[in-house]
Amino acid sequence: MTDASSYALLGKIRTPEELRELPREELPALAIELRRYLIETLARVGGHFAANLGTVELTLALHTVFNTPEDRLVWDVGHQAYPHKALTGRRMQLESIRKHGGLHPFPSRSESIYDTFGTGHSSTSLSAAMGMAVAAKLQKADRRIVAIIGDGGITAGMAFEALNHIGSLGLDVLVVYNDNDMSISENVGALRNHSARIVHKSKTRIPTAQGDMETDRPEHWQLANRVIDENSSADVHDGAFFESLGFSYYGLFDGHDLPGLIDTLEHVKTKRGPVVLHVATIKGKGFEPAEQEPIKYHGVTGFDPVTGSMASKKPSSAKTYTQVFSDWLCAYAEIDPRMVGITPAMREGSGLVSFSKRFPDRYFDAAIAEQHAVTLGAGMAADGLKPVVAIYSTFLQRGYDQLIHDVALQNLPVVFALDRGGLVGADGATHHGSFDLSFLRCVPNMVVMAPSDENECQRMLTTGMEHDGPSAIRYPRGFGPGSEVRFKDGAIALGKARVLRECKGRRRPRIAILAFGAMVAPALEAADIIDAAVVDMRFIKPLDENLIMEMADEHDLLVTVEDNVIQGGAGSAVNELIISRHESIPVLNLGLPDHFVEHGSREELLEELGLDGSGILRRIQKRLRAKDLDAANASANQIS
């Protein structure tokens, strides 16, 4: 635990009300303590790091100037909300963030009245803030609404839609545009170039309370300036974009000059109508390793708080599913020049770093714009390319209409590589890939696959690439069971499952477990104890109907296991088949429950939900006991 006594000022602050009672001249010292607290705490427990260091002064200024929680602060994404949590009564709980039963990884309405809107996916803050501004207007409430959004989050179409609507109605919304030229990776896009031009135009001289001051910028900002040097043409008024949408524009201001920020916020607080306050911050501010490598320090598991060095991982021959995808992508690109790779701002997380370096002309970062990424792939496929859209399962939800209307309806050969399928762990409910099997299998023309190991993953990716239509391969976060990857194995026949284990004895009841994707390994664990057959189903759509019916004919109970919600999932597909064939064999569906699953390690959550090996065994045995009881009751009724 961090020694609270070493934080003379921070130790006094339990609420923003107490912060506002602090003399203004003590706030810069408080910022130093808060930043040090974050560094020392997250060095031990991990979490989102660099983004939070970048918003220390901004958070202090916002809570100082505005009467929170009556005035509403709406944070975008939430990667940068740890200082906010620390100042709103949760500092001593920060050790537990992202852990099972601990603080939510992002702002959560159920956790604090200061968290006015739940976040986790980006680019929602402006729409939510507008809704709150409408509510304040209709309720005749005298409160201010402030949305804090970064230059990464503002690239999404949803943010532009909200800006357009807010401006058209002239609502009282303050948009704090936190510009650090970073998303998780380097930010991309025309608006990013415009922001970089603003910084470059003043040769990195940013207004502060003490006047213009030369500000050291990290290497990625310097690179942005060089790019603008080469490409800039006409001088554009700094706020022209926002002013064209009906906003008053104030900027560019140093986001680490706390007295200047407070003075500026006090000024714009009096302004009515839509206002944009443009501030420049440094991701990782105050910790040099994070300033220089903000991508590396975006999310950490632990590091030396003095040197920044991270514990080296032991060499391992095992690969994560993301690494398997990365290797496959580059290998297949070598043999098929039609392949292109698309990511919505998740180059590192989705495994496209190597591809982007080896095939830069075939790599496309669409920024935080999932809808655009999907239809971009559709357009490419329409003219003969073979696009692979690498996207987290939870983020594909944002491009669902485009998947249906632009890809599947036209039967275009777009491959969706869905990382983080199932339970992801510490990022919690906003990031679990809990619904993809349900929302994908109902779409005509889609082929949906889930690998049980690393080699199956690369084979399914090849299967999708060679299929003349849309396909999705969903795989979990982290490591598989350690299977050797053999690229020569090639594609899998569409809809073909495989039996991994057969019942070895003759005892009744005979059980067959139909397992999907990552659930094959724990299903095998349970099957060894109860002598059950295990089928690696491979395909959610099309199902191996003949094999399922064989299992139904030869066994007394079918058990489906998936790490997707039970409603409408893979087990539901099996149920539908059984009913359509007029079979009466009992089926037990195991999967995720009908509620949002909170954060914790993947292993903790699977155990809690009964989807590890012992949990699957326990739930099957419970079903068998219930079946025996039903049979006994039926027999007793016949005798009576």
Q: Which residues are catalytic?
A: 283, 370, 398
Main-chain dihedrals φ then ψ at residue 251, nearest 5 degrees:
165, 175
Using left for φ > 0, alpha for ψ between -120 and 50, and beta otherwise, residue 189 falls in: left
CA distance 535 to 530: 15
Specify the DSSP element, H or E, that contains 261: helix 258-269
Please name the residues in contact with 548: beta carbons below 8 A apart, sequence gap of 6 or more: 497, 514, 535, 558, 574, 577, 578
The string over 507-538, giving b where at least 16 C-beta atoms fall within 10 Å of a residue's C-beta and e elsewhere, is eeebbbbbbbbbbbbbbbebbeebebbbbbbb
Q: Which residue has the tokens 């095998």?
A: 524
Q: Count the residues in the chain.
A: 640
Sign of CA pseudo-dihedral 476, 481, 486, 492: negative
The 3-class SS string of 221-243 reads HHHHHHHHHHHCCCCCCCCHHHH
Helices then strands, counting H and E runs in the chain, come out as 25, 21
CB 184 within 8 A of CB 348: yes
DSSP SS3 for 74: strand
CB 522 within 8 A of CB 563: no
Q: Among 598, 591, 594, which residue's Cα sits nearest to residue 615? A: 591
Q: Which residue has the tokens 């009744």?
A: 508
